[in-house]
Structure 1
Amino acid sequence: MSLLDRITLKQLRALRALADHGTVTAAAKAISLTAPAVHIQLKNLEEISGTPLVDRESREGGLTPQGHAMLRAHDQIEAAITRALAEVEALNAGTCGNLTLGVVTTCKYFAPEIVALLAQDMPDVTIALKIGNRSELMQGLERGEYDLCIMGRPPREPLVGARSLAPHPHVLIARPDHPLAGRNDIRPVDLVDERFVMREPGSGTRILAERFLSDVAEKKQAATIEMSSNETIKQAVISGLGIALISGHTVAYELQMKRLVTLNVVGLPILRTWYVITPRDVPLSIVAQRVREWLLENAARFLPALDTEARL
């Protein structure tokens, strides 16, 4: 019997539970086993692997590098089985297959439209939509949880395939009664005394805003206030707390309703790109290929229309 034949899902689940819950007792409770049973599963897995997987010096269920390698295998296997079961359910329901689409939180303003249009154009495909931040999507890609993802900058790790989907404009928003609203000759230096509403550190929008601010205030530190989501940023600007550099696709409705305006600053909007991301080492299913091509061909149908002409 090969080593592969001796490894069981129960052993791998015990390892995952230990990593998640920190102690054998807590892990046993989480997966409805006794502590001795979990201990045996972990011991058997270590014997099969021929190496320690659990760091015995750690009091919180830490794993060795070999343990983390086995943990990644568990996550990938679980994701593959979950997707297979969803596909079986879709086939049993009379559809041709299912697809899990992951999108970053900024996409939540148009992602439901994607699902609705796909339901019209591909009624034989079941779409599962998952929304998360960039870090969560990258982790999910590594575990094999997604067939396709939509995000801005393609991640360097894990290795993925990326196809350009559409322009992604970032605009500077303000209240309609802001003193600079309606002007066409705004220079970055004119914004030096403004307060900027920013996303949390690590956000792609935050990184873009910080680069913009470095040009705005070369000698003076710009005043900033931090918000945790695009929704709170929009409400903060509407309330007069400041101005914000933000994805144009997140404020299309507020601009249409005249609750916000874009400031006509030289060099704006900043144009980035939306990408369709696929796992590099996982062959695309026929359904995933169909949906990816549909996304590339139909971006104009689901992305809000915006004036993205840069001001020079």
Structure 2
Amino acid sequence: MSDLRGLSIRQLRALSATARLGSITAAAKALHVTPPAISIQLKLLSKQAGGEVLERSAGGFEPTALGAEILEAANEMDGLLDRLSDRINALHAGAVGLLRLGVVSTGKYFAPRIVAGFQRAHPGIVVKLVIGNRGEILAGLRQRNFDLCIMGRPPEDVPLVREELGDHPHVLIAPPDHQLAGRRDIAHAELQQETFLAREEGSGTRMLMSRFLDRVGGERPVQLVDMGTNETIKQAVMAGLGIAIISAHTCAAELAEGKLVALDARGTPIVRQWYIIHRADHELSVAAQHFQSFAAAHKNTHFPEGFGGMNRSE
């Protein structure tokens, strides 16, 4: 009975070279080993196969029926190994691979555009795009679930490498028929009677709005209503339930269509930065390095139009 579980590539190489060249000496020369080394590999192979794999003929060594079967399998394995080598080289070159990208929810308005452009340039790299709220993306970053993350306010408690990706403007939105629509340089005092609609506690947009409202309210508390998503906030503002500080990227379409207006209040727009980050203690794959380079080379070209040239506030 044959037992080929211990079969080695060296044995197959020895068989293939000897059958092709007709002699052990020629096979040894081709494989850069000694003739005794070839003989040992052939004996081990015959023992594992349960019979002779070569036989002598007038022209030299030829494969037996058993040896011919093994040679056919060896040729198939050579093809598999060649393809494996190609894939490994492609991995090292960054031509193929898997990239795990975490993006905070506001980034869903532009991140798919970055990913689509990247995959057109690097079709062999699969990007696993995960979009979640700030807490979810931070948890994934801490647990090393992501190779790269895109967010507006990187955490301070994780060692990071960060690179600016582009401006992230926030605007004060209102319905088109709001009493302050069209006014210039609206004073904070004029906003104190307004109802502000806000994202959940812990979101980057909520933190930004809270700092803005601290200046608006002064000693007086400002009426604040929590809402779970940017989409809910936009719909509520359009319905006249209040006004909101929100990422300009989330409402670019509604502003362009006239469904919402950006109020010209003092201190707005508030322009922050988008960052692409990764853990400082995490070695980036070549695929991740390619994505980072692609994103950096296309800074400020992925975002919704209409918000260029904004002055940085605060």
TM-score range (shorter-chain normalised) is 0.5 to 0.7
Structure-2 residue corresponding to 1:204: 204
Counterpart CA distance in 2 for 1:169 and 1:301 is 14
Find the residue that maps to 2:249 and give its secondary structure.
Answer: helix
Structure-1 residue corresponding to 2:288: 288
Find the residue that maps to 2:293 and give its secondary structure.
Answer: helix
Structure-2 residue corresponding to 1:264: 264
Structure-2 residue corresponding to 1:217: 217
Counterpart CA distance in 1 for 2:300 and 2:312 is 19
Counterpart CA distance in 2 for 1:109 and 1:262 is 18
Deviations 1:190-211 (A, max 9, x none): 1111111111112111111111
Deviations 1:18-44 (A, max 9, x none): xxxxxxxxxxxxxxxxxxxxxxxxxxx
Structure-2 residue corresponding to 1:28: none
Structure-2 residue corresponding to 1:14: none
Find the residue that maps to 1:153 and give its secondary structure.
Answer: coil
Unaligned runs of 5+ residues in structure 1 are 1-86
Find the residue that maps to 1:302 and give its secondary structure.
Answer: coil
| Alpha carbons of structure 1 residues 289 and 156: separation in structure 2 relative to 1, 3 Å | same
Query: Identical aligned pairs, as a percentage?
Result: 47
Whether 1:244 aligns to 2:244 is yes
Structure-1 residue corresponding to 2:278: 278
Structure-2 residue corresponding to 1:230: 230
Counterpart CA distance in 1 for 2:288 and 2:311 is 33
Counterpart CA distance in 2 for 1:255 and 1:123 is 35
Structure-2 residue corresponding to 1:121: 121
Deviations 1:151-194 (A, max 9, x none): 01111233221111111111100001111111113111111111
Structure-2 residue corresponding to 1:253: 253
Using the size of structure 2 for normalisation, the TM-score is: 0.67
Counterpart CA distance in 1 for 2:292 and 2:218 is 43
CA contact (8 A) 1:105 1:133 kept: yes
Structure 1 stretches of at least 4 aligned residues deviating more than 3 Å after TM superposition: 309-312
- How large is the RMSD of aligned CA atoms in angstroms? 2.1
How many residue pairs were aligned? 223
Deviations 1:87-112 (A, max 9, x none): 99x97xx9621211110011011121
Amino acid at match of 1:287: A
Find the residue that maps to 1:300 and give its secondary structure.
Answer: coil
Find the residue that maps to 1:100 and give its secondary structure.
Answer: strand
Counterpart CA distance in 2 for 1:117 and 1:167 is 19
Amino acid at match of 1:128: K
Using the size of structure 1 for normalisation, the TM-score is: 0.67
Counterpart CA distance in 2 for 1:190 and 1:249 is 26
Amino acid at match of 2:133: N
Find the residue that maps to 1:293 and give its secondary structure.
Answer: helix
